[in-house]
Amino acid sequence: MKPHEFIAKYALIDCRYPYEYRGGHIKGALNIYDPVVLENSFFPKCPKTLKIMIEKIPIFYCEYSSARGPLLASHLRKSDRVRNYDKYPYLYYNEIYVLQGGYNSFYNSDDECFKDLCEPTGYVPMHDKMFADEFKIYHMRNVRNGIGLETGMFQTAVIKKNPDIRRSHSVPQMPESPTTSQFASMQSSPEKKLPSNTDDTNTTVSIPMLTNPRTPTGRKK
């Protein structure tokens, strides 16, 4: 898959704080760490813009994809469900993914070509001492919004059991973080989808390339 094809099909969301994003991020990723901004971006009031957005598949990541990424992914699913409560099981975004291992695994992959997909080529950890003051500001803001904690809304990310997919830990534990070399294969391998079904269970899974916090529970109309 070529870069412009990837951008047309997927919406890559970097959930880290601005100073982390500025220090290096995956090319084409949008820096969204605030749930209000997330909702405004994925549920725009303009019908034409919304129609364009819902054609994309969101992929979230943070530093390790262990808290901020999964929680914002769950927030998007919860908001989607609320907006379409009277059309259950219909959803605007049937598929939502979380990049396994986050930016840390992506940037530190054994495959050096991964660094070529980052701009600028760098990695600023969340707890970098140079940005201690900024961290306190953004972290407290996210705590007030319920983002940044490894509990809460992540429990809304449940999926249909599927015997063909390797099962990971049950909610509310975080997904596993294998090497990100699997993510690179997405650019050349056919997309792997989970079946649509309305029977949800409290199980998370790990699939090749990405972690999907919840299987599609409705088909787009």
**Could you give the CA distance from residue 42 to residue 6 in angstroms, rounded to a whole number?**
18
**Could you give the CA distance from residue 156 to residue 86 in angstroms, rounded to a whole number?**
18
**Could you give the CA distance from residue 175 to residue 165 in angstroms, rounded to a whole number?**
14
Instruction: Look at residue 27 in the predicted model and tell me its pLDDT.
Output: 95
15 is catalytic: no
- Percentage of the chain lying above the pLDDT 90 cut: 58
Helix/strand/coil for 113 = helix
* Model confidence at 193: pLDDT above 90: no
pLDDT (average), residues 22-43: 96
pLDDT band at 212 (very low <50, low <70, confident <90, very high): low
Beta carbons of 207 and 192 less than 8 angstroms apart: yes
CA 124 to chain centre: 19
Instruction: Look at residue 146 in the predicted model and tell me its pLDDT.
Output: 65
DSSP code at position 58 = E
Instruction: Look at residue 143 in the predicted model and tell me its pLDDT.
Output: 78
- The residue ranking higher by pLDDT, 40 or 213, is 40
Instruction: Look at residue 141 in the predicted model and tell me its pLDDT.
Output: 86
Q: Which of 88-102, 129-143, 192-206 is the most confident on average?
A: 88-102
Contacts of 184 (CB under 8 A, 6+ apart): 109, 111, 113, 114
* Model confidence at 199: pLDDT above 60: no
Instruction: Look at residue 144 in the predicted model and tell me its pLDDT.
Output: 78
Residue tagged active-site, from 46, 62, 113, 118: 62
Beta carbons of 66 and 150 less than 8 angstroms apart: yes
Beta carbons of 141 and 100 less than 8 angstroms apart: no
Instruction: Look at residue 147 in the predicted model and tell me its pLDDT.
Output: 63
Mean per-residue pLDDT of the chain: 75
Q: Which domains does the chain have, with CATH numbers?
A: 3-214 (3.40.250.10)
Instruction: Look at residue 217 in the predicted model and tell me its pLDDT.
Output: 45
pLDDT (average), residues 24-46: 96
Helix, strand and coil in the chain, % to nearest 5: 40, 15, 50
Instruction: Look at residue 89 in the predicted model and tell me its pLDDT.
Output: 95
Which pLDDT tens digit goes with each residue over 126-170?
A: 999 999 999 999 988 877 776 654 333 333 333 233 333 233 333
